[in-house]
Structure 1
């Protein structure tokens, strides 16, 4: 390859099988090498499709292998990687699905993709040492500001996305409606805990530095606060407790 090939032209050709090999792609003898480039281009697409299948197994299960392969192909052509970290490829897949006309009959599909990607991000998040469960026995606990682990996040969905994902992977059929999903990483593997819609307001408040007692005032009536706090503790999600004037 000579220096006449721009990075932009190279990427555009590598992601589009209908484009000819860019001028400047040559073999060892200095002559154009379109066949070599085609092999390289095919290897790129195969690798990205494999990464998509590995990263979104529930989405693939819900739509079937053939549909998923076709959908992934369109996504890959439109959204080449912008990072060398292949394990984090697919950040925009949920948004893509939401506007992908052939998937319009599955309004929950983009949510499943969003959840699967969030779980993957949690898996690769930085480690953080959780506080001991006994630390929450402090009588002033409700005045504490709580720091959540990097792997901890919460998402809000109009559909029972956590249950749909579980069903797609062999679990029971969904039985609920809209839900928020807490993602924690107690050991090496992240887990998704379904909670009543509106629970996300608590974690949003905590992340804004609002003390626990005030944050839980935002809880929906259906939420079992003991179970919620238990999920944070068992998930290793609380990494720091700070008290003012205590």
Structure 2
């Protein structure tokens, strides 16, 4: 809370303060005074406006592609509605906006932009991958040294930066078209997106449905062989060499687990 604002009585609880802070239509809480023990009406209004502006800017920074697709004015308005419904629960702005994808999908006026929620999920995943803890990748030779039988009985410990999203929309293509100059125009269709962080910045890459199934199984604790069986139930010709190479190149494999 602003150091120039303080409660004159113990009647201003946190919930009441936050409700008033998030909505310009809500009266200033009774008992809230400034440093001179005067009613904090005007000071509180200035403080409330500063908070709203800061959170709106945070939403633009967190969801730049959503903002570009909507336009700045519309993003400002949606951010105002969102912050009233979902005030920050952490002082770390890197975590703000987790509820935004579902919020977008709950707005009837945005039904014609059905992909927005998944674009927001992709931007969230990229942000979380960026801020994920560092983890050392294994030497690929450790896998190469395993026999085929041992390899199939091996599970993988995966990097905290690894994320996988499935969408009925071409979300990576939409994201790329709006962030990379000269990128191809998105074509209709579902996309599964693998996010790895080989160095400092996360990289989103489209993978096939079977590759996504294989990676999801590994993320849930399956061995390479068990995940292979699941992937081949989707595509009988599935070859694990391509997604395994993506994981190795992305620094996403941090350990091996014998599940034999």
Give the TM interval when normalised to the shorter protein: over 0.9
User: Partner residue of 2:21?
Assistant: 14
> Given the alignment, which residue of 179, 199, 206 partners 2:191?
179
- In terms of mean alpha carbon deviation, does 212-221 or 128-137 score higher? 212-221
User: Partner residue of 1:239?
Assistant: 254
1:56 equivalent in alignment to 2:63: yes
- Measured in 2, the distance between the counterparts of 1:63 and 1:133 equals 43
Q: Map 1:85-124 to 2 at 5 A.
A: 85-124=92-131
User: Partner residue of 2:228?
Assistant: 216
- Measured in 2, the distance between the counterparts of 1:215 and 1:184 equals 19
> Given the alignment, which residue of 217, 225, 238 partners 1:205?
217
Cα-Cα RMSD? 1.6
- Measured in 2, the distance between the counterparts of 1:224 and 1:20 equals 63
1:80 equivalent in alignment to 2:92: no
Q: CA deviation at 1:198?
A: 4.6
- Measured in 1, the distance between the counterparts of 2:188 and 2:151 equals 32
Q: Structure 1's 25 and 130: CA in aligned 2 closer, same or farther, altered over 3 A?
A: same
- Measured in 1, the distance between the counterparts of 2:198 and 2:24 equals 44
Q: Structure 1's 120 and 223: CA in aligned 2 closer, same or farther, altered over 3 A?
A: farther
Structure 1 residues without counterparts, runs of 5 or longer: none
- Measured in 1, the distance between the counterparts of 2:188 and 2:240 equals 19
Q: Map 1:4-43 to 2 at 5 A.
A: 4-43=11-50
Q: Any idea what SS the aligned residue of 1:26 has?
A: strand
Q: CA deviation at 1:224?
A: 5.6
- Measured in 2, the distance between the counterparts of 1:41 and 1:13 equals 8
1:125 equivalent in alignment to 2:132: yes
Q: CA deviation at 1:29?
A: 2.1
- Measured in 2, the distance between the counterparts of 1:199 and 1:10 equals 49
- Measured in 2, the distance between the counterparts of 1:87 and 1:214 equals 36
Q: CA deviation at 1:234?
A: 0.7
> Given the alignment, which residue of 145, 148, 153 partners 2:163?
153
Q: Does structure 1 retain, via aligned residues, the 8 Å contact 2:223–2:259? A: no
Q: CA deviation at 1:165?
A: 0.8
User: TM-score, normalised on structure 1?
Assistant: 0.94
Structure 2 residues without counterparts, runs of 5 or longer: 1-5
- Measured in 1, the distance between the counterparts of 2:38 and 2:204 equals 54
Aligned length: 245
Q: Any idea what SS the aligned residue of 2:221 has?
A: coil
Deviations 1:83-114 (A, max 9, x none): 11112100000000111122111111100000
Q: Does structure 1 retain, via aligned residues, the 8 Å contact 2:211–2:240? A: no
- Measured in 2, the distance between the counterparts of 1:154 and 1:192 equals 9
